[in-house]
Structures are given as structure tokens and as C-alpha cells.
Amino acid sequence: MNKVLIKNGTLIFPHSNQMREADVLIDDGVIIQIGSGINDRKAETINASGYLVGPGFINLHVHFREPGEEKKEDFFSGSRAAVKGGFTSVLCMPNTRPPIDSPLLISYLLNRAREVGFINIFPAAAISLGLEGKMMTDVGLLMNAGAKALSDDGKCVKDSRLLYRLMTYSQYFHMPLILHEEDVDIAGEGQVNEGSMAVKMGYRSLPKTAEDSMIARDLVLAHSTGANVHFTHLSTAFGVKLIEWFQSQGAKVSADVTPHHLLLDDQSVIKYGSQAKVKPPLRDKTDIVALKEGIQRGIIGILASDHAPHTDEDKECDFNEAAFGISNLEISVPLYVKALIDDQFINWLDFWKLLSFHPAQFLGLTKKGILEIGMDADISIIDPETHHEVKVNEFASKGKNCPFNGWQLKGWPVATIVKGKILMKDSQLEV
């Protein structure tokens, strides 16, 4: 059966700012009809009454760990976690082993994505060969092979000349850059946010200045070159201010925030230990407010979760030795609901823009992020009301490293459709 009919849902049209109750009919991977009272006996039907139905969520920042660290995550486990989390497309960061710095490796990843097959897995390629921050990768050849963006995520590009040249050069190929900002000389061996918690716990600190100074440098570079630059996992109030000012000057810069930087401050490290150890580190309450207001005012246009699965061995150890990162792909949507909808910073239309329409535009995915006839039938359906408990041991992801275990959340995805196929229905995975 190729047809799917979604009945009686509240449809969200983020590109045209509309919400209304209607049905959606899908055939052969494409949306073919939107309207009231659609009936099709040949179609598999999903009753979406009381649910929100919109274009599939796109996560610009995940670590699926292939190749090289499949014990943390692989394309299969990561894809299942994505479906559970309502994500129909993901962009995989290239800091794998080896790093994704050649067209051959992009081809390999796309072959793996085809093999696993059920969600849209897009690869990002490295900015620098071997993530060493020295020589630029073959931007054009990587694009031809299928890379959607460039990033040295996990590392900051220290060499200003490299980034300056790259920002100029990559525009020839319309290739967007995603930057992880952290001045390594300032960050040093820092583990947590600079401040009273670090003093109390005796952990070395990773000051906001390490992030802000690099954001400032790269905003200047982006402004001067005209490059399309995206700051991922933004965590500071000053970062929001800097980006806002450069946006007002016409720089083509954007940013995203993770759910944990919206819900946890650095005091969480005391409570959750290494499960709350992440880069950038969890910051202060004032930063959380500034990030939420930044989202509300459109300065931060994308939500991306930085899903960073690790094994227990990598996390359950000496705090200073523990890996940075949080596994959150399947709970990101309800976490964002808690941080942004419950506190009335944004409405559902904004929510869908931040998680679907804007990331689709950023990646140049013209058939995604839009609920309209002729668009790809990638659909996320969420139940805005019912509360469930986060149970890490039920994660589809291999990574159980998550401080949110036991939290009561609402706004869970209940059905996920990718390329016209139902991959989750009634909260049950079908893959």
C-alpha cells in the first residue's frame, strides 16, 4: 500500500503561517491532497484527531558515529531514535573516525544511508582535512558527492585565514558553514561553565569568553565575506547579542540552540554529574532567558539538538575524563515544548518553523519543511497534551547518556512518516 491518509489533525503550515483542521493524503512519497473530508479506501489511515500534523522535523546537528564508533551509535539505531523523536531528516556531523573529509567518505555514508534507508540522512563534510584546522577540504567535490554543509564540529576552526578563505570560496558552491565556537587556548582543559559551581566543585572552567570571542571573530568574517554562516549550539547571552547586531548589519548568519541549553543551567552538573557534562557547558539562568528571548525574537532561527550518544564507559567515569555530550534525539521535541511552548515564548507555528521550515531552507531542501501538495511526504505528528515519563532504558538510541531520565514531559511525537511510509504509529515504532 502506497497511500497514507492522515485524518482530522490540526495541520501546521509553517511557510504560510496557517493552522487549520484538515486531512492529508499521501501517495508514493508525495503529498497529493490537502483538504476536509478526504476519503480513500485504499489508503492506510492515521486518526490524528487532537494531534498536530506538520512537515517533518529536521535536525541539523546529530552524531550517528558512523564510521568508526558504531558502539556509541550507528545509522540504524540513530534512525530509529530519530523516528521516535519525530525527526524525518538529520544532518550528521563529520567528526567520525576517520573524519568525513573526502568525496569517497561522503559516498560511503550515502550508501549506508540508502542501506538503512528509512529516514533522510544527510552528511555534513569537514571544513578542514582530518579536522586538523589547516587545509581546506575539496568543497566543490564534496558538494557534488552529496555533502549538504561544512563543519569541523567538535572542534573550533582556530586558523582565521583558513576560515576567511573558506567563507569566500564556499560561496561559489552555495555551501553553508556550521561553526562550533570555542577558543581552544582559552578553553584549555575546561570542563564546566566558569562561575560559582566550578569554584565549588573544583572543576576547571570553560569560560563563555572562549565561545563569545570566536563568535565575534566569525561574525566579522561572515559579514565581510557575505558567507552563509550558522552558529550551532549557541549557549551565551552575549552570543545572542552579537549575532543580533550583525544580523542588523545584513550578515547572513543564523544560530541554533539545543534543548539542554534551554532547560539546564550549570548547577545541574551538581545534580546530574557527568550526564550534564556537555560542550558548550551548561551556562547560567540569565543565558537561558536570553536564548529563549533570542528564539522568540527570531535571532535564533533553528532548533538542533546536538544528539551526542556515548557508551556508559565513556560517561560513567571520573568526571574530568568523561566524554562531553548528551543523547537526546528521541526526547528533543518534548524538551523544546517544555522550554518554549509551556513558557509561552513561542506558538506552534513558530515551533514548526524552528524545527522544519528553517532548517530545510538552510540546507537548501526545497521539497521539505513545507506542507503543501507536491512536497515530500515527510510528516511529524505530535500529541500536544499527554504527559509521559522519559525512560532512558527505553531509548532506541544506543546512547543512554541523558540527564533528563525520569522527567515528565508532554508534546511527544506519536506518528512519523518519511517518504510516504509510516515509520511510527500510535507511538509504536514500525521499523
Partner 1 sequence: MKWKHKHLLGIDQLNGEEIKILLEKGSQYRDWLEHSPKKLTRLSGYYLINLFFEASTRTRVSFEMAGKLLGMEVVNFTNELSSLNKGESFRDTVRTLARMKADALVIRHRSSGIPLYISQFLPFHIINAGDGIREHPTQALLDLLTMKRDGIDFTRNTVAIIGDILHSRVARSLSIGLKKLGSQVIFSGPPTLIPKGIEILEGQVVYPVEEAVRQADIIYLLRIQKERQEAGFFPSAKEYAHFFGLKEKPKGADGRWKKIMHPGPVNRGLEIGSSLIEEENSLIEEQVSCGLAIRMAVLETLILEGRMDE
Q: Is 245 a residue that touches partner 1 (CB under 8 A)?
A: no
- Smallest gap from Cβ 141 to partner 1, in A, equals 5
- Smallest gap from Cβ 173 to partner 1, in A, equals 8
Closest CA to 157 of 214, 78, 82, 88: 214
Closer to partner 1 at the Cβ: 33 or 168? 168
Closer to partner 1 at the Cβ: 44 or 159? 159
Largest CA distance in the chain: 65
Binding range to partner 1, per CB under 8 A, among 73-81, 112-120, 139-147, 351-359: 139-147
| C-alpha cell, 29 | 512519497
- Smallest gap from Cβ 218 to partner 1, in A, equals 16
| C-alpha cell, 333 | 521535541
Q: Is 141 a residue that touches partner 1 (CB under 8 A)?
A: yes
Q: Known catalytic residue: 287?
A: no
d(CA 24, CA 36): 9
Active-site entry in 153, 306, 314, 376: 306
Among 139, 157, 263, 422, binds partner 1 (CB under 8 A): 139
**Long-range CB contacts for residues 337-344, cutoff 8 Å, separation at least 24:** 337/384, 337/409, 337/410, 337/411, 338/263, 338/409, 338/410, 338/411, 339/259, 339/262, 339/263, 339/292, 340/262, 340/292, 340/295, 341/384, 341/411, 343/292
d(CA 294, CA 302): 11
d(CA 337, CA 332): 8
Binding range to partner 1, per CB under 8 A, among 109-117, 130-138, 255-263, 290-298: 130-138
Closer to partner 1 at the Cβ: 127 or 424? 127
| Three-class secondary structure of residue 219 per DSSP | helix
Query: E-strand spans in 390-427?
Result: 408-418, 421-425
Q: Which of residues 69-128 bind partner 1 (CB under 8 A)?
A: none
- Smallest gap from Cβ 126 to partner 1, in A, equals 11
Instruction: Spell out, one character per residue from 159 to 188, where the chain touches partner 1: x when CB under 8 A holds, - when not.
Output: --xx--x--xx-xx----------------
Site residues, partner 1 (CB under 8 A): 135-141, 161-162, 165, 168-169, 171-172
Q: Which residues are catalytic?
A: 306
